[in-house]
Amino acid sequence: MSSATPLKRRRGRPPKDQAGFSQTKAELIRSGMEVLTEKGYSATGIDEILRRVGVPKGSFYHYFKNKDAFGSELISNYAKFFEHKLDRSLGNRSLPPLKRLSAFMQDAIDGMARHQFKRGCLVGNLGQEMGALPESFRRQLIEVFETWQQRLEACLEEAKAAGDISSDTDCKQSAYLFWTGWEGAVLRAKLERTPNALQSYADFFINSLK
Amino acid sequence: MSSATPLKRRRGRPPKDQAGFSQTKAELIRSGMEVLTEKGYSATGIDEILRRVGVPKGSFYHYFKNKDAFGSELISNYAKFFEHKLDRSLGNRSLPPLKRLSAFMQDAIDGMARHQFKRGCLVGNLGQEMGALPESFRRQLIEVFETWQQRLEACLEEAKAAGDISSDTDCKQSAYLFWTGWEGAVLRAKLERTPNALQSYADFFINSLK
DNA sequence: GATTTTTATAGACGATCGGTCTAATATTTT
DNA sequence: AAAATATTAGACCGATCGTCTATAAAAATC
């Protein structure tokens, strides 16, 4: 909970110490991420995002052209964050490939648990909402999936090379399937507010590789 | 497309032929189903649902207490519709169990294709939106999943009895996993506007049973 | 068959909220 | 000190939700 900061904001041009970095913008992005992963895009008003961090509307429209542009930045931000996470986990050479995947999933489960399974995946949320979203989001979201898929594909190739999974596994296809099903599991975990779907899917997928 | 019906509606008490059945109410539900499977709950306004079928607001609030009650009825309606569909397909004794499942999936793929993959699954859509929905929807949605799961579980048990799948398969667990992953595939098909995710998942799941 | 009751349509209305835009303010730059 | 720039402040407009009253037409009642 990072609610209502009653902090009085200084108006006017800020001191020139922090080059290019804006505290306020960062707060808006974090706040937006929290709300959107929980409620999605359409159901979330800008006011709510602002209220949480005590930022007035003017600031929002200073940093972002409009809600759509904000959403787009959130996706980029989320993608970058996740990419690093995947590089660290799935690319962690100190663990055998499949263990890395299991560790990633367990990590995600713990993460969702920390928020009582109320927050889902931004990409999944927006994907489902596509019908009501600006068309430009589509390519962006598809590309995020592709990036994730590549990371996993590489990891699975390592597993194959190590003989941990069948040599005739189509790693690309498996990686594609993984993320497809994973999003389903996240959705259901959110609905049921339990780790069950995630846990089951984790076991299932790992098993399907053998 | 069942857009703007300029049809002039008869006011007043309707003729007493149709016991309990209301044409208007049915139209509202169908219209709502179309829009909600495409855009979700929060992104959809009542006005849009009404405009599509040329029904004035007064009628809406005559048939439904409010938007939430309407949404709840939509879920029930969808659940009932789907239940019958599952009974027909998964319970079709003239086909071997696994073929029934494949047929069901192919049918769903065709269905989504007919709408250019713009419409998803109502349950999946609302599930993802839970964070912004009335809490009462949660139980309703969970129960729908359970119903679907039971239907599939029974079908898988038949497959097991027939020796089509391994005798140590946990059919309940498999059925749970199926729907979890399936929702993920529907989501992704909607995002990518192609049958690819559905097709891949169909093959994958069937294969995982053997 | 005239009156009352019931069922349904019609749409105006107010409150609220989301998104945009202009004004005000405080720093930097010149 | 003046001009330019970066940021905050919040007024404003339009849309949306849900209510409420008026109207209409059929059924029920007597």
Q: To the nearest whole percent, how much of chain A has pLDDT over 70?
A: 90
At residue B185 the predicted structure's pLDDT band, cuts being 50, 70 and 90, is very high
CB B122, CB B37: distance < 8 Å: yes
**B interface with A, Cβ–Cβ below 8 Å:** 38-44, 118-120, 124-125, 127-132, 138, 141-142, 145, 173, 176-177, 180-185, 187-188, 190-192, 197, 200-201, 204, 208
* Subunit contact A118:B125, Cβ cutoff 8 A: no
User: pLDDT truncated to tens, each residue of chain A (210 aa)?
Assistant: 333 334 456 665 565 555 456 788 999 999 999 999 999 999 999 999 999 988 889 899 899 988 999 999 999 999 999 999 999 999 999 999 999 999 999 999 999 999 999 999 999 999 999 999 999 999 999 999 999 999 999 999 999 999 999 999 999 999 999 999 999 999 999 999 999 999 999 999 999 998
Q: Tell me, what's the pLDDT at A159? A: 98
The C1' atom of D23 and the CA atom of A45 lie apart, in whole Å, by: 38
Cα A175 from Cα A153, distance rounded (Å): 5
- The full set of domains in chain B, from first to last, is 67-209 (1.10.357.10)
Straight-line distance from the first to the last Cα atom of chain B, in angstroms, rounded to the nearest whole number: 41
pLDDT averaged over every residue in chain B: 91
ipTM for the complex shown: 0.90
Q: What is the DSSP letter of A132?
A: G
Q: Tell me, what's the pLDDT at B5? A: 39
* Subunit contact A128:B177, Cβ cutoff 8 A: no
- What does the DSSP assignment read for B126-162? HHHHGGGS-THHHHHHHHHHHHHHHHHHHHHHHHHHT
With beta carbons under 8 A apart, name residues in chain A contacting B43: 41-43, 129, 131-132
**A interface with B, Cβ–Cβ below 8 Å:** 38-44, 118-120, 124-125, 127-132, 138, 141-142, 145, 173, 176-177, 180-185, 187-188, 190-192, 197, 200-201, 204, 208
pLDDT tens digits for range B28-80? 999 999 999 999 999 999 999 999 998 889 899 999 999 999 999 999 999 99
Partner residue facing B180 (CB), from A41, A124, A188: A188
Q: Tell me, what's the pLDDT at A58? A: 87
pLDDT over 90 at B10, yes or no: no
* Subunit contact B142:A173, Cβ cutoff 8 A: no
* Subunit contact A42:B42, Cβ cutoff 8 A: yes
Cα B60 from Cα B53, distance rounded (Å): 11
pLDDT over 80 at B15, yes or no: no
**Reduced to 3 states, what is the DSSP secondary structure of residue A55?**
coil
CB A162, CB A97: distance < 8 Å: yes
Search chain B and give the residue with CA nearest A203.
Answer: B177
Of B62, B59, B43, B42, whose CA–CA distance to B51 is shortest?
B59
Q: Tell me, what's the pLDDT at B31? A: 93
Q: To the nearest whole percent, how much of chain B has pLDDT over 70?
A: 90
The C1' atom of D13 and the CA atom of A105 lie apart, in whole Å, by: 47
pLDDT over 70 at B7, yes or no: no
pLDDT over 70 at B24, yes or no: yes
Strand D positions within 7 A of protein Cβ atoms:
4-11, 15-28
Please give the single-letter amino acid code of residue B68.
D
pLDDT tens digits for range A182-203? 999 999 999 999 999 999 999 9
At residue B1 the predicted structure's pLDDT band, cuts being 50, 70 and 90, is very low
Of A149, A183, A147, whose CA–CA distance to B188 is shortest?
A183
pLDDT over 70 at B198, yes or no: yes
